[in-house]
Amino acid sequence: MSKPNAAQKLAADLVVLAEAATPGPWVTDGDYVNEHGSVIHAYIANGRRGGGRIAGAFANCLVKTDEQCRANAAFIAGANPKAVLVLIAENDRLRDLAQTEIDNASESAKEVAGARMTLYALEQKTDRLKAENEALRKIISGSATSCGAAVSVDCSLDFMGDLPNEISSVITKLRRDAERYRWLRRVDSDYAICTPGQDWGDMIESHLDAQVDASIAASGREQRHG
């Protein structure tokens, strides 16, 4: 607990004095005027019924006028024990409220700091995912280009949507080429796919795939009718 400051010590002293004094409220209760018409005393009384006079303000060389003497009495009456205790209680309430607000602000500051750290971590994660995504795009684009997929190498969403069909198309072509290769290895002569007047060199320059496909189809028909 922190050491009380001067104002807090004064408040504590006033509480002790107020609790020991005649309870308020206090009121002014007339004055005493001498034979020259000057106010000598301005009286203060307890404001409760039958309370009687309990104090007075006196005229002297420091009190310049009768009205000032009466004003001193009014101030004393106003600053009675009850009023002092009410003011100190309100001061304590406001102090506690201020401390609560400070504590809440401190907690809010901690929450904001935590949110900033979380946001920073999310930004770092987002940047990392972007970098990984870009690297993956390049890998997919390079792979698609290598296998002959006829799609954009930008690896856009449209690219990703078309890629399965493109890869399937490439695989179908590769399977067809493999089928032609296996068939060519099985035939006894190059001339099995030659048309009259052609030799192997002519086929290389012409539509070889179409002729091989036609020969495979013809071979299949012969096997079915053989």
Mean pLDDT score of the chain: 82
Res 190: pLDDT: 55
pLDDT tens digits, one per residue of 66-80: 999 999 999 999 999
pLDDT at 205 over 50: no
Q: Which residue has the higher pLDDT, 171 or 42?
A: 42
Residue 52 and residue 46 in contact, taking contact as beta carbons nearer than 8 Å:
yes
Phi, psi of 115, deg, nearest 5:
-65, -40
Angstrom distance (rounded) from CA 222 to CA 219: 5
Dihedral angle sign, alpha carbons of residues 117, 121, 122, 126: positive
- The pLDDT value recorded for residue 18 is 92
pTM across the whole model: 0.51
Q: What is the pLDDT of residue 169?
A: 82
